[in-house]
Structure 1
Amino acid sequence: MIAVIADDLTGAAELAGIGLNHGLRTEVSTTVDEHCDADLLVIATDTRSLAVNEAKNIVHDLTVQLQQLKPRFLFKKIDSVLRGHIIEELQSELSASGLKRALIVPGNPHHSKKLIGDTFHYNGAPIHLSDFANDPTFPALSSNIVELLRADGSIKLVNNGDKLPSTGIIIGAAEDEDDLKYWISKTDGNTLLAGSANLFTTLLEYLTTPQRIEIPDPETTGRRLFVFGSTFYQGKLNLQDGKHNNIPVHYVPAATICAETSGDHVHGLFASHVASSIVAGNNAIIAINPDFIKDIKVDPVLLSHKMADIVKQVIDHTSLHELLIEGGATAWAILERLNIEKLYPSKLIAPGVIHMRIAGNNQLCLTLKPGSYPWPAPIWATNNYTCI
């Protein structure tokens, strides 16, 4: 078994899709099942949205539980642009696992996220010049890798060809695929490897022989609700007559966004309106209007829970066959609200965009996508990716 701890749900789903593509029996769960016999077990957390001490405790406890399964390899999925409590979580995982060192290989060269020397680049420019500088929780205010990681002088930066220190937390510079392969080749049984989907793909190519597992394609009828929890791309929605790609867009009311608490009574009328739209046309989008939030301070965690409450009420009003969710924190809040703990990937629609079945639920399924990835064109074909 290969065991992964991911710091958000869409990142966990992304790695599960990669495992599925390599023919591995794959499971995504929010807890560690002592009877799990999957080839790839990805534990999804929401530690990126939590306070640092809470995040550390969760990672420590999960690592202890995973060690009981005696995995062949431990991998820590981190954000490709280094948001989150990366150093602290790795320190916690090292302590719980007994491993001697952690190797962070930042970025995702396949998506133009590269560490060149000590400078992190996104789309060919230092990342602090990009939209990631405006992230509400972990803004990229510097492009220096140590400052991005909020690390201290004990963290060592090494380049392709350098000898790896035997202990501690190490950063491996990665400009291209050859660098990723080099770091994988230098990883041994005493090393906790941390990185993004690009690195994990390289790891699977090194550890496994690709196989093909036949999983039936989903059925093609049903009602779908898109939930755009991330604001990363929402300023770029192309609306025509209130529709995006011919699907009605329903912006969460400003009063709901500004409310100091999350509660069902606040969202009832809006959820009923969205449900009616789905009954009429099978598809609807819930989104956050960037104009509503550009001049106000919004708690992203509270906003995720508000979105989850709305989704629950939409489901109470009408049967759904598929939820398509953008943004890891929003996806996590929705799964918590719906009491979903275990998922099985069934289709890799595009890199990072994964269709999954819900354990114990034959009606509803999920498609998840990180906030910074685009939706692939086929997803907009109505009723194209729903499940039995």
Structure 2
Amino acid sequence: MIAVIADDLTGAAELAGIGLNHGLRTEVSTTVDEHCDADLLIIATDTRSLFVVQAKETVYKLTVQLQQLKPRFIFKKIDSVLRGHIIEELQSQLTASGLKKAMIVPGNPHHSKKLIGDTFYYNGAPIHLSNFVNDPTFPALSSNIIELLRADGSISLIKKADRLPSTRIIIGAAENEDDLKYWIGKTNNETLLAGSANLFTTLLESLTTPQKVKTLDPETTGRRLFVFGSTFYQGKLNLNDGRHNNIPVHYVPAATICAETSGDHVHGLFASHVASSIVAGNNAIIAINPDFIKDIKVDPVLLSHKMADIVKQVIDHTSLHELLIEGGATAWAILERLNIKKLYPSKLIAPGVIHMRIAGNNQLCLTLKPGSYPWPAHVWETNNYTCI
């Protein structure tokens, strides 16, 4: 077994799709099942949205539990643009595992996120010049890798010619796929490896792949609800007569966004309206209007729980076949609200876009996507839709 701890749900799903593509019997879970017999077990967390003390405690506990399964190794999935409590979580995982060294290989060269020297680049420019400087929780205020990781002097950047230390956390720069292969070749089972989906793909390619496992999709009803929970990327919606790619868009009311609490009664009318739209046309989008939040401070965690409450009420009003969710924190809140704890990947639709079955539920399925990845064009096709 290979085990992974991911700091958000869509990142976990992304690695699940990679595992599926490599023929691994893959499971995504929010807890560690002592009876799990998967080839690849990915533990999804929401530590990126937690306070640092809570994040460290969560990672420590999960590491201890995973070790009881005796995995070949435990990979640490981190954000490809280095948001989250990366250093603190790695320190906690090292303590729990007894390992002395961790290597971070930042970025995702396949998606133009590269560490060249000590500067982190996104789409060819230093990341602090990109929109990631406006991230509401972890803004990229610098492109220097040490500053971007919010690290101290005990964390060091290692060059290829350098001798690797036997202890502490180190960083390996990766400008291309060959760099990823180089750093993987420099690690062993005494090294905690941390990185993005690109690094994990390269890691799997270096291992023996079991025979591909056939997976089955659940039966379809054709009713879909898109949930765009990431406030950071909402400006990308192109509306035409209230529709995005011919699917009606329903913006969460400003009063709901600004409310200090999250309660079912606040969202009932809006959820009913969305459900009616799905009944009429099989598809609907729930999103955050960027104009509603332009001049106000929004608690992203509370907003995720409000979105989850709305989704639960939409499901209560009408049967759904598929939830398509953008944004890891929103996806996590929805799974919590629906009491979903275990997922099985059934198709890699596009890089980062994963279709998944829900354990114990043959009607509803999930498609998850990180906020920074694009939706593939065919998900917008609304005629004769079948589960893919």
Tell me the TM-score normalised to structure 1 length: 0.98
Shift of 1:274: 0.1
Deviation per CA, 1:139-192, whole angstroms, max 9, x where unpaired? 000000000100000001012232211110000000000000001111101100
Q: Distance in 2 between matches of 1:115 and 1:105?
A: 9
Alignment-derived partner of residue 325 in structure 2: 325
Tell me which amino acid in the other structure corresponds to 2:345: P
Q: Does 1:87 align with 2:92?
A: no
Check the 8 A contact 2:218/2:365 in 1, yes or no. Answer: no
Q: Does 1:178 align with 2:185?
A: no
Q: How does 1:365-380 map to 2 (within 5 A)?
A: 365-380=365-380
Check the 8 A contact 1:379/1:385 in 2, yes or no. Answer: no
Q: Secondary structure at the match of 2:292?
A: helix
Q: Secondary structure at the match of 1:3?
A: strand
Q: Distance in 2 between matches of 1:369 and 1:384?
A: 19
Q: Does 1:3 align with 2:3?
A: yes
Q: How does 1:97-246 map to 2 (within 5 A)?
A: 97-209=97-209, 211-217=211-217, 219=219, 221-246=221-246
Q: Distance in 2 between matches of 1:95 and 1:236?
A: 42
Deviation per CA, 1:361-381, whole angstroms, max 9, x where unpaired? 011110000000000011111
Gaps of 5+ in 2: none
Pairwise CA RMSD: 1.1
Gaps of 5+ in 1: none
Identity of aligned residues (%): 88
Deviation per CA, 1:223-259, whole angstroms, max 9, x where unpaired? 1000000123321211111001110000000000000
Tell me which amino acid in the other structure corresponds to 1:162: D
Tell me which amino acid in the other structure corresponds to 1:182: Y
Segment of structure 1 superposing worse, 235-244 or 217-226 = 217-226
Alignment-derived partner of residue 345 in structure 1: 345
Tell me which amino acid in the other structure corresponds to 1:375: W
Check the 8 A contact 1:350/1:376 in 2, yes or no. Answer: yes
Check the 8 A contact 2:218/2:362 in 1, yes or no. Answer: no
Q: Distance in 2 between matches of 1:13 and 1:261?
A: 29
Check the 8 A contact 1:227/1:326 in 2, yes or no. Answer: yes
Q: Distance in 2 between matches of 1:3 and 1:259?
A: 40
Q: Distance in 1 between matches of 2:19 and 2:209?
A: 11
Q: How does 1:247-262 map to 2 (within 5 A)?
A: 247-262=247-262
Q: Secondary structure at the match of 1:11?
A: helix
Shift of 1:222: 1.8
Q: Distance in 1 between matches of 2:387 and 2:49?
A: 29
Segment of structure 1 superposing worse, 230-239 or 341-350 = 230-239
Q: Secondary structure at the match of 2:153?
A: coil
Shift of 1:384: 3.5
Deviation per CA, 1:186-221, whole angstroms, max 9, x where unpaired? 110110000000000000001123632222355554
Check the 8 A contact 1:312/1:337 in 2, yes or no. Answer: yes
Deviation per CA, 1:73-127, whole angstroms, max 9, x where unpaired? 1100000000000000000000000111000000000000000011000000000
Moved over 4 A (4+): 217-220
Check the 8 A contact 2:353/2:369 in 1, yes or no. Answer: yes
Q: Distance in 1 between matches of 2:21 and 2:361?
A: 23
Deviation per CA, 1:10-58, whole angstroms, max 9, x where unpaired? 0000000000000000000000000000000000000000000000000
Q: Distance in 2 between matches of 1:200 and 1:337?
A: 30
Tell me the TM-score normalised to structure 2 length: 0.98
Check the 8 A contact 2:105/2:180 in 1, yes or no. Answer: yes
Alignment-derived partner of residue 387 in structure 2: 386
